[in-house]
């Protein structure tokens, strides 16, 4: 799959690289990749750059086909791809611009705990989390729902979990879209998707999904860190999961039908994985309704996971989660398409913003961020690999003007899963991480650890530095892993 890209990148400045429209006849806009000089060699050694150019063929695309510095090969869009389409100009929706794990996302919990309090109980805590949190391929949990309740989850998202006692209203206030995007339509969800989602609320999943106990080891912006409730030496918990088998099935159902719809709407794209339909078409409206159901399912899933994590902390530290200060900092999606208002060439336009492995990064005083973060901007959560740092940043006005309010979503893969497994053959990654850094790792399968080994990923520090120096999100704090749960 990987090959050196044969096109030409025009360097705009230290962190921006342009793919000119002349690269491929049919590109409606240029491509724009955010990256440093040192990241570019690995990026052009991946066909993902060609995917950025291919996305520029989408009808109604506005300004640029964008890619973040964590760019790597994906289905249709590259991972790290961002594109906005205008429905008033024939703009389309493409499931390849959202991904199979709809609303795969991250949430960060803070606490009042310090390392000295946690270290003596760390192994017990990690083991209890591993025992209490269902993880692995096809895992199911104890939160089972009826068909009617499942429909309610699709519409209310994390609000369903809070109603059931699995959280508090403050959790919703600190979740993107308050934990439920409007316009979800359960009528567009197949029976197979219903069945797959019935037993997976409150489950972590497999692959790159994780739960991580961390310590805040660096503060870059004291004022914003204080607004986010973060301080040096603090224990935090990060959750990375999505819509599980339900979201996968929703995507799979619609991808198949959209390929046949290309001819109906006379749409020509250079890759069938970019199958798309007009946003205002019956097929487009149906996909958006189903995709929103999956997005809401994912927010509910992460809220249920939060409840299970709080239960474990209460048991291990013999205090209520409120006394432990185990509150939600923020929850943000990074595989989603959303209708948003953006100013383009001085004019406000209502656009469909595809974020595929990219995080929303709205600025201070934006109407869609919590009131308590209004001076700091939206919290942006960027996980690393299980052996490196994770970061929290803040959204900026520059992101609104340059990237449709978007930034990176993580380190980004440097090796395919098969290549990582081959490189790690015979190694015990969990023991390596413990011996090198004291990180306690628990996983349901050794192949997962090989797939997710630290060398399989780009340097998250460098990825974050690019978006920070490019100004599309600014560093606030850094977290170091202490214990990791993998599927």
> Looking at residue 436, what DSSP letter applies?
H
Taken as a whole, the chain contains a residue count of 487
Residue 2 has pLDDT above 80, yes or no: no
Average pLDDT, whole number, for the chain?
Answer: 94
CA 143 to chain centre: 24
Alpha helices in 110-232 (DSSP H): 115-118, 122-132, 147-156, 158-163, 169-173, 191-197, 222-228
Q: How do residues 259-304 score in pLDDT, each as one tens digit?
A: 999 999 999 999 999 999 999 999 999 999 999 999 999 999 999 9
Helix, strand, coil share (%) of the chain residues, nearest 5: 40, 25, 35
Percent of the chain with pLDDT over 70: 98
Q: What is the pLDDT of residue 207?
A: 83
Residue 69 CA to residue 230 CA, distance in Å, equals 26
Q: What is the pLDDT of residue 271?
A: 95
3-class DSSP state of 279: coil
Q: Of 209, 334, 342, 409, which is the active-site residue?
A: 409
Q: How do residues 457-472 score in pLDDT, each as one tens digit?
A: 889 999 999 999 999 9
Give me 142's structure tokens. Answer: 């104890």
Residue 399 CA to residue 394 CA, distance in Å, equals 10
3-class DSSP state of 238: strand
CB 38: neighbour CB atoms within 10 A? 11
Q: Is 409 a catalytic residue?
A: yes
> Looking at residue 136, what DSSP letter applies?
S
* Burial profile 462-479: b = 16 or more Cβ within 10 angstroms, e = fewer: ebbbbbbebebbbbbbbb
Residue 60 has pLDDT above 80, yes or no: yes
Per-residue confidence band for 330, with pLDDT thresholds at 50, 70 and 90? very high
CB 399: neighbour CB atoms within 10 A? 27
Q: How do residues 224-238 score in pLDDT, each as one tens digit?
A: 999 999 999 999 999
89 and 426 in contact (C-beta within 8 Å)?
Answer: no
Q: What is the 3-state secondary structure (H, E, C) of 372-418?
A: HHCCCCCEEEECCCCCCCEEEEEECHHHHHHCCCEECCCCCECCCHH
By C-alpha distance, which of 302, 336, 319 is closest to 183?
Answer: 336
The β-bridge relationship of strands 473-486 and 440-443 is parallel
Question: What are residue 222's phi and psi, to 5 degrees?
Answer: -60, -40
Per-residue confidence band for 1, with pLDDT thresholds at 50, 70 and 90? very low
pTM value? 0.95
């Amino acid at each position: 799959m990987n090959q050196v890209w044969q096109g030409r990148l025009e360097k705009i400045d230290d962190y921006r690289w342009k793919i000119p429209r002349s690269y491929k006849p049919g590109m409606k806009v240029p491509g724009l990749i955010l990256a440093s000089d040192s990241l570019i060699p690995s990026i052009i050694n991946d066909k993902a750059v060609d995917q950025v150019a291919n996305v520029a063929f989408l009808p109604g695309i506005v300004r640029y086909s964008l890619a973040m510095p964590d760019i790597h090969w994906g289905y249709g869009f590259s991972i790290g791809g961002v594109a906005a389409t205008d429905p008033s100009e024939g703009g389309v929706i493409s499931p390849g611009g959202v991904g199979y794990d709809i609303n795969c996302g991250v949430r960060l919990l803070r606490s009042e705990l310090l390392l000295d309090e946690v270290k003596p109980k760390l192994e017990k805590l990690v083991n209890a989390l591993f025992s209490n949190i269902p993880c692995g391929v096809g895992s199911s949990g104890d939160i089972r729902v009826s068909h009617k309740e499942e429909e309610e989850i699709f519409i209310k998202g994390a609000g369903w979990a809070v109603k059931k006692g699995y959280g508090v209203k403050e959790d919703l206030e600190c979740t993107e879209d308050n934990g439920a995007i409007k316009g979800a339509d359960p009528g567009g969800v197949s029976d197979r998707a219903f069945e797959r989602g019935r037993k997976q609320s409150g489950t972590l999943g497999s692959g790159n999904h994780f739960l991580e106990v961390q310590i805040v080891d660096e503060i870059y912006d004291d004022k914003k860190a204080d607004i986010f409730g973060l301080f040096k030496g603090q224990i935090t918990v990060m959750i990375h999961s999505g819509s599980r088998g339900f979201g996968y099935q929703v995507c799979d159902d619609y991808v198949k039908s959209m390929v046949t719809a290309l001819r109906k709407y006379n749409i020509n794209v250079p890759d069938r994985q970019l199958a798309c339909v007009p946003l205002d078409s019956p097929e487009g409206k149906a996909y958006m309704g189903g995709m929103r159901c999956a997005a809401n399912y994912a927010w509910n899933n992460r809220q249920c996971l939060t409840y299970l994590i709080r239960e474990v902390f209460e048991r291990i530290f013999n205090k209520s989660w409120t006394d432990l200060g185990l509150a939600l900092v923020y929850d943000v999606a990074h595989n989603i398409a959303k209708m948003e208002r953006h100013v383009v060439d001085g004019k406000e336009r209502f656009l469909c913003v595809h974020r595929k492995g990219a995080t929303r990064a709205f600025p201070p005083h934006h109407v869609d961020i919590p009131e308590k973060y209004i001076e700091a901007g939206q919290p942006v959560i960027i996980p690393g690999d299980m052996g490196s740092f994770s970061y929290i940043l803040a959204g900026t006005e520059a992101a609104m003007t340059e990237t449709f309010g978007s930034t990176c979503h993580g380190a980004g893969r440097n090796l395919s899963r098969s290549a990582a497994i081959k490189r790690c053959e015979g190694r015990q990654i969990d023991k390596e991480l413990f011996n090198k850094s004291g990180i306690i790792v628990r996983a349901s399968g050794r192949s997962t650890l090989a797939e997710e080994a630290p060398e399989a990923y780009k340097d998250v520090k460098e990825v974050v530095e690019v978006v920070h120096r490019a100004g599309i999100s600014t560093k606030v704090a850094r977290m170091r892993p202490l214990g990791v749960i993998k599927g």
